[in-house]
Structure 1
Amino acid sequence: MPTSQRYPSAQVLEDNDLAVKIMESLRSIAIFGAVGALVAAAALPAYASSKPVEEAPTLQQLASVDAQSLVVASTATTAPVAHGVFTATTPDEIAKKKAEEAAAARAAAAAATAAKSFDISKYSLVSPGSGEVRYPLPQGVYNVSRTLGGGHNGADMVCAAMTPIYAATAGTVRISSESYYGYGVGVVIDGVVGGQRVSTTYGHMTYGTRQVEVGATVAAGQLIGFVGSTGRSTANHLHFEVKINGTLVEPIGWLAANAG
């Protein structure tokens, strides 16, 4: 056999080496591609699982955004929602509100019961006298147990239950309530006497006996209610207060100097 046929030429050998190198390069690229795909397949789920889940907004966050009422007590679900303001309702405030509502309900029930047996026709509708200032009780039927001072804002005029109470001055009824704080059944009248603003308060009346409502105009000496022992009281009496231009004055001396 000729030597040229038995051994490949140098060109053939070079071509073979080139082909082998190309195949090896393609194999490396394929291997790297496969490895990259495996890494991506493993890494993407892990990344997805590590992404934080968006949490639902809290009640406080909603309150700060919408300016709604924030209720921090689970028992306060009936509290009204105040739009446009931020408020908080505590258990103590809820209990106080419920106590006030219960007291008002008891007062209303007592007033309804008293009204059924109340006959105003046997009482005088106007007190004696003709001046701008009148005594709130008929003369000679009461004793003054204490007056202004020591944290007490008026005079306690002790007398029998259902003694008629009259307006000390003419004016407009600012308060008329069956449950006026510690005054119990109370009335407040604002008027003007001698060019001065005079406010008179009448407390502890009998349930269901108020004769005037808020906004009514009354005359001096007009019947406005009857003595009782409602509110913070331990005996039948009229708690009588007088303010002149917003300042408390001793009411018994004021009556003695002005009533007629």
Structure 2
Amino acid sequence: MPRTPAGRVASSRPPKAPNDAAPQAPRSSRKSRPLRSLVILTMVGGLVATVALPAYGAWRPADDAVTLQQVAADDAQSLVVASDSSASELNRGSYSATTPEEIQKKKDEEAAAAAAQAAAEAAAARARVTSSSSSSSPVNISMVSPGSGEVRWPIINFTLGRGLWDSGYHQGVDLLASCGEPIYATAAGIVSVSQESYGGYGVAISIDHALGGQSVNSLYGHMTYGSRQVSVGQAVSAGQLIGFVGSTGSSTACHVHFEIHINGGVVDPWAWLQSNAG
């Protein structure tokens, strides 16, 4: 074999020509393959997240308690109903009236109920008065005040109490008697007031009279609740029973507060009775 000048054995193979080298893939193609794979993986991951995340968000453990404020913040239009709530049928009694007709009807029903209650209480009071009067011998339960004159005593068994203007602003006379004692109209006339609550007078009746050419008004206060026997506009005769003694309104003891007004002015009722009653 021929030797080179350096003493090495020369190979019998001829040197490879440059165009005889093995073909190689282009460098740009090798770089695009990992990039394409990365894009595909990213798209797959995004698709998985798009499908899985809403389902995960909708799922909540059964024992994961939330407040009403949290529910409202998540979805203001959500309705939270307790698990033990039951359906109920709506009816007209479960909501308030809103139209003027319904409001007026409701007021009328309430007024009728109140009137029925007042009538029942009045009947019970009359029954109690009658019972107590019949069991107490000193009480005079006659239905007409004794006498034959045009003016009668408004009460029979009494003790004189405060008079006109005594102890301050006092426009009448107090005739002290047991609760349940009968009260009579002092003269014939027309009832102008008949109320269960007439200011400080409590249960009171007022009657307009025409006596001796004068306009006279008599007032009877502090009567027993439910004991009124006459109503406004009713004509009464002298000595007719109109109610029973009580202690209603501004009162601290059983008595009848009796007033007399002549032509609109206050007069001493005690002196007037002594001069006219008989």
Category of TM-score, reference length = shorter chain: 0.5 to 0.7
Q: CA deviation at 1:124?
A: 1.4
Equivalent residue, structure 2, for 1:148 = 164
Q: CA deviation at 1:136?
A: 0.3
What are the equivalent positions in structure 2 for 1:1-260 lying under 5 Å apart? 108=118, 111=122, 113-119=124-130, 123-138=141-156, 141-149=157-165, 150-260=168-278
Q: Which has the larger radius of gyration?
A: 2
Percent identity reads 57
Cα deviation, 1:171-225, whole Å, max 9, x if unaligned, reads 0000001111111110000011111001000000011111101100001111100
Residue 161 of structure 1: SS of its match in structure 2? coil
- Partner Cα separation in structure 1 for residue 246 and residue 149 of structure 2: 26
Residue 114 of structure 1: SS of its match in structure 2? helix
Whether the 8 Å CA contact 1:145–1:157 is kept in 2: the answer is yes
Letter in 1 for 2:161: S
Q: CA deviation at 1:117?
A: 3.2
Whether the 8 Å CA contact 2:202–2:223 is kept in 1: the answer is yes
Whether the 8 Å CA contact 1:111–1:178 is kept in 2: the answer is no
Whether the 8 Å CA contact 2:171–2:259 is kept in 1: the answer is yes
Cα distance change on mapping 1:112 and 1:181 into 2, 3 Å: farther
Cα distance change on mapping 1:159 and 1:117 into 2, 3 Å: closer
Whether the 8 Å CA contact 1:132–1:169 is kept in 2: the answer is yes
Q: TM-score under structure 1 normalisation?
A: 0.56
Residue ranges of structure 1 left out of the alignment (5+ in a row) = 1-79, 81-103
Q: CA deviation at 1:243?
A: 0.2
Cα deviation, 1:115-162, whole Å, max 9, x if unaligned, reads 343438962111100111110001xx2112111113101001111111
In angstroms, what is the RMSD of aligned CA positions? 2.5
- Partner Cα separation in structure 2 for residue 189 and residue 210 of structure 1: 13
Q: CA deviation at 1:169?
A: 1.0
- Partner Cα separation in structure 2 for residue 216 and residue 142 of structure 1: 27
- Partner Cα separation in structure 2 for residue 191 and residue 248 of structure 1: 15
Letter in 2 for 1:147: G
Moved over 6 A (4+): none
Letter in 1 for 2:176: V
Whether the 8 Å CA contact 2:129–2:180 is kept in 1: the answer is no
Residue 212 of structure 1: SS of its match in structure 2? coil
Residue ranges of structure 2 left out of the alignment (5+ in a row) = 1-99, 101-113, 135-140
Residue 161 of structure 2: SS of its match in structure 1? strand
- Partner Cα separation in structure 2 for residue 194 and residue 203 of structure 1: 25
Q: TM-score under structure 2 normalisation?
A: 0.52
Letter in 2 for 1:237: H
Letter in 2 for 1:194: G
- Partner Cα separation in structure 2 for residue 114 and residue 128 of structure 1: 25
- Partner Cα separation in structure 2 for residue 110 and residue 234 of structure 1: 22
Q: How many residues align?
A: 157
